[in-house]
């Protein structure tokens, strides 16, 4: 029995060490991205969420593998906050992404990385067991990302820990929503840019020959011919 306990302790130590190493490599990878300077960071033993508001980039890290997931602003479809499995805030992209109209209900979780399970509705209203920021992303590999903001298994509703976690989650939700809206405005301005019309050019020699022919036939007077000739010479030519 004692040997089994020792073996279990050793295995847990190995897992923790491997997780620390993986997170260290993850953080080094973030530093190597010179186009990422996070303005807001959530970092604990299980999750990393960094938001570069200027460049519109988001990085998510997931324990224990700590594989980095980069989300550009144009790929964000929606951002929500779930408290014990119930949505308390939600904002979605108003335009189409990848052919799918985004705007109303969240799609079901069919995969992706979810940190801190949404869980079932808690029957004890005085206790909060999960507080998750959920991102829907236009990425088949990671369509849904969930980041838990509770640092404990459960907290009392309304106490300091709950208020701090809720305030942090809402701050990230507001920032990511602003980035998503800014990306929408860029998309809209791109779509609304007028396309210059192609104006056909006039072949001057052909038109001059036609004018001379009309003059010779008496259709145009010398004055009219001179006026039309001047107009033609001032028009764009091929």
Structure tokens at 143: 């369509």
Q: Do 50 and 17 fall into the same domain?
A: yes
Q: Do 220 and 187 fall into the same domain?
A: no
Q: Do 118 and 144 fall into the same domain?
A: yes
- On whether residue 238 sits in a domain, the answer given is no
Q: How many domains does the chain have?
A: 2
In sequence order, the 6+-apart residues with CB closer than 8 A to the CB of 118 are: 82, 85, 130, 132, 134, 146
Q: Which domain holds residue 210?
A: 197-228
In terms of pLDDT, which residue wins out, 208 or 3?
Answer: 208
- On whether residue 235 sits in a domain, the answer given is no
- On whether residue 206 sits in a domain, the answer given is yes
Q: Does 182 have pLDDT greater than 70?
A: yes
- On whether residue 147 sits in a domain, the answer given is yes
- On whether residue 234 sits in a domain, the answer given is no
In tens, the pLDDT along 25-74 reads: 988 988 999 999 999 999 998 899 999 999 999 999 988 889 889 999 99
Q: Do 143 and 89 fall into the same domain?
A: yes
pTM over 0.85: no
Q: Do 217 and 149 fall into the same domain?
A: no
- On whether residue 233 sits in a domain, the answer given is no
In terms of pLDDT, which residue wins out, 173 or 193?
Answer: 173
According to the model, what pLDDT value does residue 223 have?
A: 76
User: Rounded CA gap, 33 and 26, in Å?
Assistant: 11
Q: Do 9 and 31 fall into the same domain?
A: yes
According to the model, what pLDDT value does residue 220 have?
A: 72
In terms of pLDDT, which residue wins out, 209 or 50?
Answer: 50
Tell me the DSSP string of 169-227: HHHHHHHHHHHHHHHHHHHHHHHTSPPPP-PPPB-HHHHHHHHHHHHHTTSS-HHHHHH
In terms of pLDDT, which residue wins out, 55 or 223?
Answer: 55
Q: Do 211 and 138 fall into the same domain?
A: no
Q: Do 101 and 213 fall into the same domain?
A: no
User: Rounded CA gap, 93 and 33, in Å?
Assistant: 27
Q: Do 143 and 47 fall into the same domain?
A: yes
In terms of pLDDT, which residue wins out, 138 or 227?
Answer: 138
Helix (H) or strand (E) segment spanning residue 34: none
Q: Do 63 and 92 fall into the same domain?
A: yes
- On whether residue 155 sits in a domain, the answer given is yes
Q: Do 69 and 91 fall into the same domain?
A: yes
Q: Do 38 and 108 fall into the same domain?
A: yes
Share of the chain above pLDDT 90, in %: 45
- On whether residue 177 sits in a domain, the answer given is yes
């Amino acid at each position: 029995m004692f040997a089994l306990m020792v073996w279990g302790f050793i295995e847990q130590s190995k897992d923790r060490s491997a997780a620390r190493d993986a997170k260290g490599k993850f953080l080094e990878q973030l530093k190597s991205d010179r186009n990422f300077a996070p303005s807001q960071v959530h970092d604990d033993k299980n999750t990393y969420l960094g938001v570069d508001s200027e460049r519109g980039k988001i990085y998510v890290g997931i324990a224990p593998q700590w594989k980095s997931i980069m989300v550009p602003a144009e790929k964000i479809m929606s951002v929500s906050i779930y408290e014990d499995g119930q949505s308390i805030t939600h904002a979605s992209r108003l335009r189409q992404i990848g052919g799918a109209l985004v705007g109303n209900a969240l799609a079901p979780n069919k995969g992706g990385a979810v940190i801190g399970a949404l869980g079932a509705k808690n029957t004890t209203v005085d206790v909060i067991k999960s507080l998750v920021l959920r991102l829907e992303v236009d990425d088949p590999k990671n369509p849904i990302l969930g980041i838990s903001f509770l640092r404990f298994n459960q907290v009392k509703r309304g106490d300091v820990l709950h208020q701090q976690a809720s305030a942090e989650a809402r701050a990230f939700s507001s920032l990511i929503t602003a980035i998503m809206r800014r990306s929408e405005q860029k998309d809209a301005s791109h779509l609304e840019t007028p396309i210059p019309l192609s104006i056909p050019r006039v072949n001057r020699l052909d038109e001059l020959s036609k004018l001379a022919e009309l003059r010779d036939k008496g259709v145009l007077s010398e004055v009219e011919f001179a006026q039309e000739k001047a107009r033609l010479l001032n028009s764009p030519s091929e």
